[in-house]
Homo-oligomer: A and B are copies of this chain.
């Protein structure tokens, strides 16, 4: 083996994630590994959990980073709450909604899928109708659909739910890029990934469970089938005085996430969110001059994930290859039904800034 790592080309990650990482976060990840029972590491984890509570907008005690990527967060949300035959309503308007259906179905849930056209948000009236027609233990939605660039009305959906319905929200692409108010919106489980607007490399999945969700887990008739993400066991390691060993978390990933969260808190979350909006507005202006249009209508557009409709006659695959190969800029392809029809440009975290937009636009113009 030659060492391929000697020639990793620094790449501007302007796709759907992972996003570019701040130098301070790379630095954090290369700090000396500590043991997972080391009191100093426990302190780092405690502070990290406190920081995550701010970004989730929650006071939930059970707010922790899982030892895996954002997809593990989705798995953990459903596997802890779902038991055989439970009724689950999933609002689906993109790849990650489809994935929720798949994950919940595999776990034996009785899933009702309420689908909306990709590129449009969940329609509140239709959600209300579905909720009138049946009673669900769990309702789930993706806040920021990474596959389409749509923002779903998480708060409004939350207002429709009955007291005893558990509300799962995917915030993988939202966290760190826009306000999340899990407590005020009545969200019971919210999960995220480290690799989008947090600008940490992938490998950790922040997740939070409300006291109601914790109660629901305690009342299960069967044990959580997935030992690795069983929240009752993880709680014993992550909190309280005893810190019972469960599994060894990815120590240096947690350093990276700690630094990434700290970067946001130091800049100020409101300022960070504003920076995302400004970069997005600049991007939309510049796009017009390139002759490209956006898939999603303005009120539901995500600032951090822009789905661009590929104009007639443009070879999107060649464009992406050239951007990556010659300009070292990564943008993403469309997924699923939108493959070939859109490209996805991320303005996430470290790259949510005017200069980054200008660099991409200039490269696209030249190609």
Contacts and interface: CB of A to CB of B under 8 A. Distances in A.
Contact of A13 (B33, B75, B107): B33
Nearest to A253: B203
A29 B31 contact: no
Residue among A10, A30, A40, A223 with the highest chain B CB neighbour number at 10 A: A30
A75 B227 contact: yes
A69 B67 contact: yes
Contact of A40 (B9, B69, B71, B108): B9
B67 A225 contact: no
Interface in A1-50: 1, 3-5, 8-11, 13, 15, 17-18, 20-21, 26-38, 40, 43-44, 47, 50
A258 interface: yes
A133 interface: no
A68 interface: yes
B18 A36 contact: yes
A298 to B, nearest CB: 28
A165 interface: no
B106 A227 contact: yes
Given A106-B227, A247-B69, A26 B30 contact: yes
Contact of A225 (B5, B43, B107, B335): B107
Contact of A30 (B4, B29, B72, B224): B29
Contacts of A50: 1
A116 interface: no
A202 interface: yes
Given A8-B32, A10-B32, 17 more contacts: A1-B265, A3-B259, A5-B259, A18-B35, A29-B252, A30-B30, A67-B68, A67-B202, A69-B248, A69-B249, A70-B248, A72-B247, A103-B227, A106-B224, A193-B248, A203-B253, A225-B226
Interface of A: 1, 3-5, 8-11, 13, 15, 17-18, 20-21, 26-38, 40, 43-44, 47, 50-51, 67-72, 74-75, 79, 99, 102-103, 106-108, 193, 195, 201-203, 223-228, 245-253, 255-256, 258-259, 262, 265-266, 324, 330, 332-333, 335
20 contacts: A1-B265, A4-B258, A5-B31, A5-B255, A5-B259, A8-B40, A9-B34, A18-B33, A18-B248, A21-B33, A26-B30, A30-B30, A38-B330, A68-B68, A68-B72, A70-B247, A70-B248, A71-B247, A106-B223, A250-B253
